[in-house]
Chain A
């Protein structure tokens, strides 16, 4: 059963804490992406990776970090430098260009 999985589904962060969101895909896609979605808004690109061991900043990368050590995995760390991290985080993947397929999302809340 091919697809994209994200964990956890819900995550709570205390002030000053780093948290890591997991994204795994078994679609054999080269490219992976992280988006942030705020209520009533579209998706904004945080980071993307076209190949293993390479990634680029998106439009709102400040306060976030990523790694791409394996083709199937693209974890996102929300650092304490991100001042307003409460949002819905979506991971996506694609083969070559364009058609991006999304995971179920992680809802992060700051306590």
Chain B
């Protein structure tokens, strides 16, 4: 079993829809959680960074962490065609915290 599971999609939604992206994990020691956006043939771009449980909002993006369920989510409101990309979740432990463990990535397409 992988430490981090992420549905690879592809996920296709109409413009303006609310998008929900999710990851589950098995290691309860994970404390830091990140979401990256990666456009085709580009390096990943950090979108959201959260510590432990709770919500964090930044513009149209909201990240949620539920440590009791070992489940993290990224919500995108008022989705735009420019949001079409692959979204990668990543997480790490406090000890050796620099070693990120990534999900497989979800390919998202927003249709105009």
Residues of A within 8 A of B (CB): 4, 6, 31, 33, 40-45, 48, 50, 58, 88, 90, 94, 97-105, 107
Contact = CB atoms under 8 A, between A and B. Distances in A.
5 residue pairs, one from A and one from B, having the closest CB atoms: A42-B102, A102-B43, A97-B97, A43-B102, A42-B104
Interface string B87-112: 01010100001111011110000000
B16 interface: no
Interface of B: 4, 6, 8, 32, 34, 36, 41-46, 49, 88, 90, 92, 97-100, 102-105
Question: Binding site of B, secondary structure by majority: helix, strand, loop or mixed?
Answer: loop
A98 B88 contact: no
Most interface-central of A48, A58, A100, A101 (chain B CB within 10 A): A100
Contact of A100 (B8, B42, B100, B105): B100
Nearest to B4: A42
